[in-house]
Each structure stands twice: as C-alpha cells, then as structure tokens.
Amino acid sequence: MVAAARRAGVHDPRILEALEVVPRERFVPPDRRRDVDHDRPIGIAEGQTTSQPSLIAAMLQALELTADDHVLEIGTGTGYQAALLSHLVAQVHTVERFPRLAEAARRNLAACGIDNVEVVVGDGTKGLPEHAPYDAITIAAAAEQLPEVLGEQLVDGGRLIAPVGPDGGQQVLIYRAEGGRLEQVRRLTGVRFVPLVPGDPSARDVEP
C-alpha cells in the first residue's frame, strides 16, 4: 500500500506511516478482507465504497495537515480515512448520512484504540457548524456543485479538498478559505467517487 501511495506521488512520511499502521481489514466487510492489499476501492454497506488508499493518501497530502489541526471529514463510510486522519491531526469530526455506517465506523475506530475522532450522523452538505471552525475539510463523496457554506466553517487560510463535477467528469479540487469564501487553488486529479447526496437517507437509497 505504501508503494502504491509513493507511485501516486505521496512522499509525506507521516502519511506513509499512517497507511502502514491503520489496519484496512478492520474497515471492510469480512468477505472482502482478502482484497485489502490491493490499491482499489472496496464495497461496504449501503451501496457505498471505501476509497482507493493511494487516492485518500494523495488527498490528505494535498491538505498540508499539521499535528495540531482540527479536521472535518464529510462521508465517514466505515471510518478508514478517519482512522488515517486520527494519526495525522489533533482532532477529527466526521459526518455520515447513513446511521448504520456511522455506527460501524464508531466500532471500527474504537477497536483500533482511536479516541480523537467523533462520528456524527447528519447531512454533510451543510458541514458541521456546531464544531467549527476547522483547519481543513475533506469530502469523500462527489458533489455536482461544492456546498459554498463550507467556506464559513474554515479558519482563514483553511483548506478544503473535494471531488467535484458530474458522474464521469469528476475532478479532485483544492480550495483555500479567505473571509468565509472558498477559492479554488488547484486540481489534483480526475476520479470517480460515490455521490454526495443531500438530506436524510430514505427509501430511494435502498438498492432493489
């Protein structure tokens, strides 16, 4: 996994070390544990996926995190990226719209002895204003349009990374907040993520 991350341009030793110490097998369904050493997304519950580790690592590197940062993750899934973040920064809040995934993430993180991550059930398109401000925000699902309100929840100079754009044409973009507004700084890569879906989970989310 570390080799795959290096190939993807990740050189930050703290991120490479986090990849080494976080046991990915704890964050995937039991029948997918044999796949955890492949640098590929893996299906989890509710029709979602845990992302490709090298891509998560490259996104974390682009956020230029420091050890005393407070970070918001939108789209917890089963908690793998949150576990990586827990090793890189002081405090993590992460929001997930499916209660079942949030509960799994809490269990997985606790089983790893991680105690600086708080998992909240909610709609991440609104951010998580009650715990703002954040030094950085990472969105793990693709938004057709970036929720501009997130700029108000970042400190001045805070960074946000998100896959943005329509299915088939998503780009991972990096923004910087200034006076509550988000300004695009650069583009990292093209990707394919599960969609960022506003509102509460409902029957329309259930696979037939």
Catalytic residues: 51
Binding ligand SAH (rule: CB under 6 A), the pick from 22, 58, 96, 117 is 96
Other CB atoms closer than 10 Å to residue 99's CB: what's the count?
13
Of 72-80, 109-117, 155-163, 173-181, the segment contacting ligand SAH by CB under 6 A is 72-80
Which CB sits closer to ligand SAH, 167 or 178? 167
Binding ligand SAH (rule: CB under 6 A), the pick from 57, 58, 59, 75 is 75
Q: Is 98 in the site for ligand SAH (CB under 6 A)?
A: yes
**Distance of alpha carbon 196 from alpha carbon 149, whole angstroms:** 15
Kindly write down the DSSP assignment for every residue of 120-153, as one continuous string: EES-GGG--GGG--EEEEEE-SBBSS--GGGGGG
Q: Is 171 in the site for ligand SAH (CB under 6 A)?
A: no
Q: Is 97 in the site for ligand SAH (CB under 6 A)?
A: yes
Binding ligand SAH (rule: CB under 6 A), the pick from 22, 55, 119, 197 is 197
Q: Coil, helix or strand for 49?
A: strand
**Distance of alpha carbon 92 from alpha carbon 134, whole angstroms:** 9
- Residues 48, 101 contacting (CB under 8 angstroms): yes
Smallest gap from Cβ 115 to ligand SAH, in A, equals 18
133 cis-preceded (ω within 30 degrees of 0):
yes
Contact pattern for ligand SAH over residues 35 through 54, marking x by CB under 6 A: -----------x-xxxx---
Which CB sits closer to ligand SAH, 152 or 205? 205
Name which of 188, 201, 207, 206 is nearest 139 in CA terms. 188
Residues that bind ligand SAH (CB under 6 A): 46, 48-51, 56, 74-77, 80-81, 95-98, 101, 123-125, 140-141, 194, 196-198
